[in-house]
Amino acid sequence: MMIDQYHKYGEALLRQLPKGVFITVKGKDTVNTMTIAWGHIGVIWGKPMFIAYVRYSRFTYDVLLQAKDYTINVPVEQDLREALKIAGTESGRDIDKFKKAGLTLVSGRKVESPIIKECKLNYECAKVYQQTMEPALIDQTITERYYPNHDTHIMFFGEIVDAYMSEE
C-alpha cells in the first residue's frame, strides 16, 4: 500500500481518535469490537502502521492473540457516541456488542477481520508485531494516573494494508 494513500485520511482519524474509534477483530471463534482512544499512525520498517493499545484485562486482547489482523473503524460524520460507549464499557465476554450497539459487520477488502458498516473511514491492518509496555519504564505520574491497578497496555502494530472511505 502506498503511504500517501493512507496518509490522506490521517487527519480525520486523529480528530476522532480522542473521542473514540472501534478496533474490530476476528479470532478463531468470535468477532469483537472495542472502543479505543489511544493509537498511532506512522511509518515503521518502511510500511504504514497503526499501533493500537489494548489492556491485558480486555476480551479484545484475548481475541487479538488469535487473530492475524484487525480493523480500525472511524465514525467520521456519523454520531455513534452511544455505540462507542457500549463498545468501551461492555465486554464481549458477556454480550453481543454489535447487536446491543446497533452495529453491522461487513467484510473487509483485504483482511479477515470485518469492518463496521456504520463507520465511513476504515483501516485494515495486518498484525506484524506486539510489545508489552514495561511498567518500570513508565513515568511515575503516568503510572499513578493511568495504571493504579498495574493493568498496562500491549501495543499491537498493524501494517495498514488498506484505508478507505466507505459509502453508506
Q: What is the dihedral of CA 42, 45, 50, 56, to 10 degrees?
A: -130
Q: What is the pLDDT of residues 113-166, one digit of tens each?
A: 999 999 999 999 999 999 998 988 999 999 999 899 888 899 999 999 999 998
Q: What is the pLDDT of residue 168?
A: 47
Q: Angle 111-32-17 (CA atoms, 0-180°, nearest 5)?
A: 80
Question: The cell 502506498 sits on which residue?
Answer: 2
Q: What is the pLDDT of residue 35?
A: 97
Mean of pLDDT over the chain = 92
Q: What is the pLDDT of residue 6?
A: 67
Question: The cell 465514525 sits on which residue?
Answer: 75
Average of per-residue pLDDT across 30-38: 95
Domain ranges of the chain: 3-165
Q: What is the pLDDT of residue 3?
A: 64
Determine the Cα–Cα distance for residues 100 and 102; give it in Å rounded to an integer: 6
Determine the Cα–Cα distance for residues 47 and 151; give it in Å rounded to an integer: 30
**End-to-end Cα separation, the chain, in angstroms:** 24
CATH code: domain 3-165 is 2.30.110.10
pTM (2 d.p.): 0.93
Average of per-residue pLDDT across 61-65: 95
**Residue 1: pLDDT over 60:** no
**Residue 2: pLDDT over 80:** no
Name the DSSP letter for residue 144.
H
Query: Which distant-in-sequence residues (6+ apart) come within 8 Å of 23 by Cβ?
Result: 33, 34, 36, 52, 54, 60, 70, 71, 72, 73
Q: What is the pLDDT of residues 75-92, one digit of tens each?
A: 998 889 999 999 999 899
Determine the Cα–Cα distance for residues 125 and 123; give it in Å rounded to an integer: 6
Q: What is the pLDDT of residue 4?
A: 67
